[in-house]
Chain A
Amino acid sequence: MFRNQYDTDVTTWSPAGRLFQVEYAMEAVKQGSAAIGLRSKTHVVLGCVNKANSELSSHQKKIFKVDDHIGVAIAGLTADGRVLSRYMRNECINYSFTYESPLPVGRLVVQLADKAQVCTQRSWKRPYGVGLLVAGLDESGAHLYYNCPSGNYFEYQAFAIGSRSQAAKTYLERRFENFTDSSRDDLVKDAITAIRETLQGETLKSSICTIAVVGVGEPFHVLDQGTVQQIIDTFEIAAEQEDPATEPDAATGQEAATEQGTAADQGGSTDEGAAPMDI
């Protein structure tokens, strides 16, 4: 980006009232590979795109279990994310130890935000370069929060962060009103579809995405590759059976879909590069 004379220190304001170092930290989040989250009344689903340095290496771990009822997906400097996850796990364990009950999600994100804020007001520190999507369940229901390097946090029905997240956000914006009453499986399908949006053309395989779920009666856990691949396959089957029709006409495409009785599959399928089907 552009060089400014007020961007050397995090403790230096610009004349326009901005802290450039903090904004640069938010840039780091935008450069990381995508992570998305969405919630219903009873479940929260996190998903992320796996990035590997090379074909030879394993991919970065971007989804962490914090406690049975809380999980987090990160984008940006994954090392910072790991450290923050360790902090969150510690806080949950200590709270459980003292109060014999799970730490409410809202409390955890505030502690996290305050921790991030400290790094924006010390000349010997730098802001954390990671954005966190915190998914959790507590007495007040299912929650999805986004924590920024700036120390701000917001609650969301659905959100996407990282590179090419705008495509996922567009998809989620169109669908989010239905999420509150979605079933758990539909929520997972929507998550996978949102991930597919960020891939923009790349084939969707279970090896390049990770999905995790937390919900009522379901402690936080990462879905195994086999399950994810099965769900992806139900998309692909619908796509293959529509290919022979090769009508760019959306109406015909929808007819073909209902003919096969894949009514449950609201995500549907699209031609590569075409806009997602409007349901």
Chain B
Amino acid sequence: MPKEQANWSPYDNNGGSCVAVAGADYCVIAADTRMSTGYNILTRDYSKICKLADKCVMASSGFQADVKALQKHLAARHLIYQHQHNKQMSCPAMAQLLSNTLYYKRFFPYYSFNVLGGLDNEGKGCVFTYDAVGSYEKVGYSSQGSGSTLIMPFLDNQLKSPSPLLLPAQDAVTPLAEAEAIDLVKTVFALASERDIYTGDKLEIVVINADGIRREYMDLRKD
């Protein structure tokens, strides 16, 4: 008797793409606002971006129920941190917390593919990219989600510094100015919307810099 397979899964994939780019004194985090299931669209207007701390924002694609639970969990932990330390969590601290939180559920993971973006303690932009169980790395730019296979090679082509084996390792942050980085992100999502069926509708862009956090929107293809 061949083994029976479960015909119910606790997970679902709601699709969508996320991108983050770090600059010398800013960070751009962006995600589309389409939420799908299978070949259907659930809504065209769902935000995948969550502000975790003053200078720290997370964008997550994957199973949005898990994403929501993860965001609530991190928000509660941040409150406890504020009570104990009398200050906001820094982006690198939140990055470590996110990693630990994800690994805590190593054997029933959060189906959530995250990019964390913000300013570190010196005001420099930083981006951290994760897998579903918490493996993370500080990088200058990253993308996750259904469109990441289309977006990442493009970002590599535009932003990647030469291999550290050939030249001394360079700073992770991109040399681009803030406006150029935002333009790049808009291009990248227009690119992904063309070929990825799960990416489209609207683009939400969050920019963090010394002045604070601001939000921008841009329309994407609705098909």
Query: A interface vs B, CB < 8 Å?
Result: 65, 86, 89-90, 93-94, 96-97
Q: Please, which residues of chain B bring their CB within 8 A of the CB of A65? A: 83
Q: Give me 13 A-to-B residue pairs in the complex whose CB atoms sit less than 8 angstroms apart, sorted by A's number.
A: A65-B83, A86-B83, A89-B79, A89-B80, A89-B83, A90-B80, A93-B76, A93-B79, A93-B80, A94-B76, A96-B76, A97-B72, A97-B76
CB distance from A126 to the nearest CB of B (A): 26
A94 to B80: give the CA distance in the assembly, Å.
11
Per the 8 Å Cβ criterion, residues 23-60 of B in contact with A are none
Beyond A86-B83, A90-B80, A93-B79, list 10 extra A-B contacts (CB 8 Å): A65-B83, A89-B79, A89-B80, A89-B83, A93-B76, A93-B80, A94-B76, A96-B76, A97-B72, A97-B76
Q: Please, which residues of chain B bring their CB within 8 A of the CB of A97? A: 72, 76
CB distance from B89 to the nearest CB of A (A): 15
A170 to B65: give the CA distance in the assembly, Å.
56
A59 to B83: give the CA distance in the assembly, Å.
18
Binary interface encoding of chain B residues 59-81 relative to chain A, with 1 for a CB under 8 A from any of its CBs, else 0? 00000000000001000100110
DSSP majority for the A interface?
Answer: helix
Q: In this complex, what residue of B is CB-closest to A96?
A: B76
A69 to B76: give the CA distance in the assembly, Å.
16
In the A-B complex, the 5 residue pairs with the closest CB atoms? A93-B76, A89-B83, A97-B76, A93-B79, A97-B72
Q: Please, which residues of chain A bring their CB within 8 A of the CB of B72? A: 97
Q: In this complex, what residue of A is CB-closest to B69?
A: A97
CB distance from A66 to the nearest CB of B (A): 9
A264 to B69: give the CA distance in the assembly, Å.
51
Q: Please, which residues of chain A bring their CB within 8 A of the CB of B83? A: 65, 86, 89
A93 to B77: give the CA distance in the assembly, Å.
9
Chain B interface size, as a band, is under 10
A65 to B84: give the CA distance in the assembly, Å.
11
Q: In this complex, what residue of A is CB-closest to B83?
A: A89
CB distance from A174 to the nearest CB of B (A): 37
Q: Please, which residues of chain B bring their CB within 8 A of the CB of A90? A: 80
A90 to B72: give the CA distance in the assembly, Å.
14
A118 to B209: give the CA distance in the assembly, Å.
50
A103 to B79: give the CA distance in the assembly, Å.
15
Binary interface encoding of chain B residues 68-102 relative to chain A, with 1 for a CB under 8 A from any of its CBs, else 0? 00001000100110010000000000000000000
A93 to B75: give the CA distance in the assembly, Å.
9
Q: In this complex, what residue of B is CB-closest to A67?
A: B79
A93 to B83: give the CA distance in the assembly, Å.
11
Count chain A CB atoms within 10 A of each CB in B72, B79, B80 and give the residue with the most. Answer: B79
Q: Please, which residues of chain B bring their CB within 8 A of the CB of A89? A: 79-80, 83
Q: In this complex, what residue of A is CB-closest to B80?
A: A93
Q: Please, which residues of chain B bring their CB within 8 A of the CB of A96? A: 76
CB distance from B197 to the nearest CB of A (A): 32
A90 to B76: give the CA distance in the assembly, Å.
9
Q: Please, which residues of chain A bring their CB within 8 A of the CB of B79? A: 89, 93
Count chain A CB atoms within 10 A of each CB in B72, B76, B83 and give the residue with the most. Answer: B83
Q: Please, which residues of chain B bring their CB within 8 A of the CB of A86? A: 83
CB distance from B56 to the nearest CB of A (A): 19
CB distance from B121 to the nearest CB of A (A): 24
CB distance from A81 to the nearest CB of B (A): 14
A97 to B83: give the CA distance in the assembly, Å.
16
CB distance from B159 to the nearest CB of A (A): 38
CB distance from A222 to the nearest CB of B (A): 11
CB distance from B81 to the nearest CB of A (A): 11
A65 to B85: give the CA distance in the assembly, Å.
13
A127 to B192: give the CA distance in the assembly, Å.
64
Q: Please, which residues of chain A bring their CB within 8 A of the CB of B76? A: 93-94, 96-97
CB distance from B73 to the nearest CB of A (A): 8
CB distance from A68 to the nearest CB of B (A): 10
A93 to B72: give the CA distance in the assembly, Å.
10
Q: Please, which residues of chain B bring their CB within 8 A of the CB of A94? A: 76
Per the 8 Å Cβ criterion, residues 170-203 of B in contact with A are none
CB distance from B78 to the nearest CB of A (A): 10
A32 to B80: give the CA distance in the assembly, Å.
27
Q: Please, which residues of chain B bring their CB within 8 A of the CB of A93? A: 76, 79-80
CB distance from B63 to the nearest CB of A (A): 19
CB distance from B156 to the nearest CB of A (A): 39
Q: In this complex, what residue of A is CB-closest to B82?
A: A65
